Protein backbone atom coordinates (compact mmCIF):
# COMPACT_ATOMS: atom_id res chain seq x y z
CA UNK A 1 0.00 0.00 0.00
CA UNK A 2 1.19 3.55 -0.66
CA UNK A 3 2.65 5.58 2.19
CA UNK A 4 1.56 9.15 2.86
CA UNK A 5 2.41 11.75 5.47
CA UNK A 6 -0.18 13.94 7.15
CA UNK A 7 0.28 17.05 9.28
CA UNK A 8 -2.05 17.63 12.22
CA UNK A 9 -2.40 20.98 13.92
CA UNK A 10 -4.69 22.83 16.31
CA UNK A 11 -4.75 26.22 18.03
CA UNK A 12 -8.26 26.42 19.49
CA UNK A 13 -9.71 24.78 22.57
CA UNK A 14 -8.32 21.45 23.78
CA UNK A 15 -5.58 21.32 21.17
CA UNK A 16 -4.02 17.98 22.11
CA UNK A 17 -7.46 16.44 22.66
CA UNK A 18 -8.62 17.49 19.20
CA UNK A 19 -5.44 16.17 17.61
CA UNK A 20 -5.93 12.84 19.42
CA UNK A 21 -9.54 12.71 18.28
CA UNK A 22 -8.45 13.40 14.69
CA UNK A 23 -5.90 10.60 14.98
CA UNK A 24 -8.61 8.25 16.33
CA UNK A 25 -10.91 9.12 13.44
CA UNK A 26 -8.10 8.51 10.95
CA UNK A 27 -7.31 5.17 12.61
CA UNK A 28 -11.00 4.19 12.44
CA UNK A 29 -10.90 4.52 8.63
CA UNK A 30 -10.39 1.02 7.22
CA UNK A 31 -8.76 2.42 4.09
CA UNK A 32 -5.70 3.66 5.97
CA UNK A 33 -3.41 2.60 8.77
CA UNK A 34 -1.39 4.99 10.93
CA UNK A 35 2.01 3.42 11.56
CA UNK A 36 4.11 6.28 12.94
CA UNK A 37 3.52 9.46 14.96
CA UNK A 38 6.00 12.26 15.52
CA UNK A 39 6.46 14.14 18.74
CA UNK A 40 4.12 17.07 19.31
CA UNK A 41 5.53 20.58 18.96
CA UNK A 42 4.19 23.99 19.91
CA UNK A 43 4.80 27.03 17.75
CA UNK A 44 3.53 30.56 17.38
CA UNK A 45 0.60 31.07 15.04
CA UNK A 46 2.08 32.53 11.86
CA UNK A 47 0.20 35.36 10.14
CA UNK A 48 -2.63 35.23 12.68
CA UNK A 49 -1.91 38.23 14.86
CA UNK A 50 -2.61 37.45 18.51
CA UNK A 51 -3.95 33.92 17.93
CA UNK A 52 -3.13 31.11 20.36
CA UNK A 53 -0.08 28.95 19.71
CA UNK A 54 -0.41 25.84 17.57
CA UNK A 55 0.33 22.27 18.48
CA UNK A 56 1.61 20.30 15.48
CA UNK A 57 2.60 16.74 14.67
CA UNK A 58 3.01 14.48 11.65
CA UNK A 59 1.75 10.94 11.13
CA UNK A 60 2.73 8.36 8.55
CA UNK A 61 -0.04 6.24 7.04
CA UNK A 62 -0.35 3.35 4.66
CA UNK A 63 -3.44 3.84 2.55
CA UNK A 64 -5.37 2.38 -0.32
CA UNK A 65 -6.83 5.82 -0.98
CA UNK A 66 -5.62 7.88 -3.92
CA UNK A 67 -4.23 11.34 -3.06
CA UNK A 68 -7.48 13.27 -3.59
CA UNK A 69 -9.44 10.60 -1.72
CA UNK A 70 -7.00 10.94 1.17
CA UNK A 71 -7.49 14.71 1.11
CA UNK A 72 -11.26 14.17 1.25
CA UNK A 73 -10.83 11.80 4.22
CA UNK A 74 -8.82 14.51 6.00
CA UNK A 75 -11.45 17.16 5.22
CA UNK A 76 -14.13 14.82 6.57
CA UNK A 77 -12.24 14.48 9.87
CA UNK A 78 -11.86 18.28 10.05
CA UNK A 79 -15.59 18.72 9.47
CA UNK A 80 -16.47 16.09 12.07
CA UNK A 81 -14.34 17.95 14.62
CA UNK A 82 -16.04 21.27 13.91
CA UNK A 83 -13.47 22.99 11.73
CA UNK A 84 -14.95 26.23 10.44
CA UNK A 85 -13.23 27.66 7.37
CA UNK A 86 -13.30 31.43 7.20
CA UNK A 87 -9.97 32.49 5.76
CA UNK A 88 -6.52 30.97 5.28
CA UNK A 89 -5.09 32.49 8.45
CA UNK A 90 -8.04 31.89 10.79
CA UNK A 91 -7.56 29.94 14.04
CA UNK A 92 -8.68 26.33 13.77
CA UNK A 93 -9.85 23.51 15.99
CA UNK A 94 -8.06 21.04 13.74
CA UNK A 95 -6.03 21.27 10.56
CA UNK A 96 -5.02 18.22 8.52
CA UNK A 97 -2.75 18.52 5.50
CA UNK A 98 -1.50 15.88 3.09
CA UNK A 99 2.24 16.59 2.98
CA UNK A 100 3.48 13.85 0.68
CA UNK A 101 2.16 10.71 -0.97
CA UNK A 102 4.82 8.26 -2.13
CA UNK A 103 6.82 10.06 -4.82
CA UNK A 104 3.74 11.64 -6.39
CA UNK A 105 4.20 15.15 -7.74
CA UNK A 106 0.93 16.92 -8.38
CA UNK A 107 -0.16 20.51 -8.80
CA UNK A 108 -3.90 20.28 -8.87
CA UNK A 109 -6.61 22.75 -8.01
CA UNK A 110 -7.26 21.08 -4.65
CA UNK A 111 -3.97 19.44 -3.80
CA UNK A 112 -0.27 20.07 -4.35
CA UNK A 113 2.18 17.25 -3.63
CA UNK A 114 4.55 17.39 -2.01
CA UNK A 115 3.09 20.22 0.06
CA UNK A 116 4.75 23.35 -1.36
CA UNK A 117 5.66 24.87 2.02
CA UNK A 118 7.35 21.89 3.71
CA UNK A 119 10.78 23.50 3.33
CA UNK A 120 9.57 26.80 4.84
CA UNK A 121 7.81 25.50 7.94
CA UNK A 122 9.78 24.14 10.86
CA UNK A 123 6.54 22.91 12.45
CA UNK A 124 6.11 20.59 9.45
CA UNK A 125 9.68 19.74 8.45
CA UNK A 126 10.94 18.81 11.93
CA UNK A 127 8.16 16.34 12.82
CA UNK A 128 8.17 14.99 9.26
CA UNK A 129 11.87 14.23 9.60
CA UNK A 130 11.08 12.24 12.77
CA UNK A 131 8.65 9.86 11.08
CA UNK A 132 10.40 9.72 7.70
CA UNK A 133 14.11 10.44 8.15
CA UNK A 134 14.99 9.09 4.70
CA UNK A 135 12.19 10.92 2.86
CA UNK A 136 13.24 13.01 -0.13
CA UNK A 137 11.09 15.99 -1.13
CA UNK A 138 11.94 18.56 -3.77
CA UNK A 139 15.01 16.44 -4.63
CA UNK A 140 16.38 16.97 -1.13
CA UNK A 141 16.50 14.69 1.93
CA UNK A 142 14.14 15.95 4.65
CA UNK A 143 17.05 16.00 7.12
CA UNK A 144 18.82 18.48 4.81
CA UNK A 145 15.67 20.58 4.56
CA UNK A 146 15.55 20.76 8.36
CA UNK A 147 19.25 21.66 8.53
CA UNK A 148 18.69 24.44 5.97
CA UNK A 149 15.80 26.08 7.83
CA UNK A 150 16.76 29.68 8.66
CA UNK A 151 15.59 29.12 12.24
CA UNK A 152 13.65 26.59 14.27
CA UNK A 153 11.28 28.13 16.79
CA UNK A 154 9.50 25.10 18.19
CA UNK A 155 8.82 24.00 21.72
CA UNK A 156 8.80 20.26 22.35
CA UNK A 157 5.46 19.26 23.88
CA UNK A 158 5.76 16.49 26.48
CA UNK A 159 2.36 14.94 25.78
CA UNK A 160 2.16 12.40 22.96
CA UNK A 161 -0.64 11.89 20.46
CA UNK A 162 -0.81 8.26 21.52
- 77 within 8 A of 96, measured Cβ to Cβ: yes
Q: Give catalytic status of residue 95 as yes or no.
A: yes
Instruction: Note if the pTM is more than 0.85.
Output: yes
Residue among 100, 90, 97, 111 at smallest CA distance from 145: 100
pLDDT, one tens digit per residue, over 58-103 is 999 999 999 999 999 999 999 999 877 666 656 778 999 999 999 9
Active site residue 85: no
Position 162 in a domain: no
**Structural domains of the chain, count:** 1
- The CATH code of the domain that includes 93 is 3.30.70.560
Residue of 83, 85, 139, 153 marked active site: 83
Q: What share of the chain is helix, strand, coil (3-state, %, to 5)?
A: 30, 30, 40
* DSSP symbol at 53: P
Q: Model confidence over 95-150: pLDDT tens digits?
A: 999 999 999 999 999 999 999 999 999 999 999 999 999 999 999 999 999 999 98
- Give the active site residue among 92, 103, 122, 153: 92
Amino acid sequence: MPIAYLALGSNLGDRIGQMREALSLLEADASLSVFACSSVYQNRAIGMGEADDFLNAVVAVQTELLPLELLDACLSVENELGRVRTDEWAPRTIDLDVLAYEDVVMNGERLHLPHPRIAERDFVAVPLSEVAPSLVVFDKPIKEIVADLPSVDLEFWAEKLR
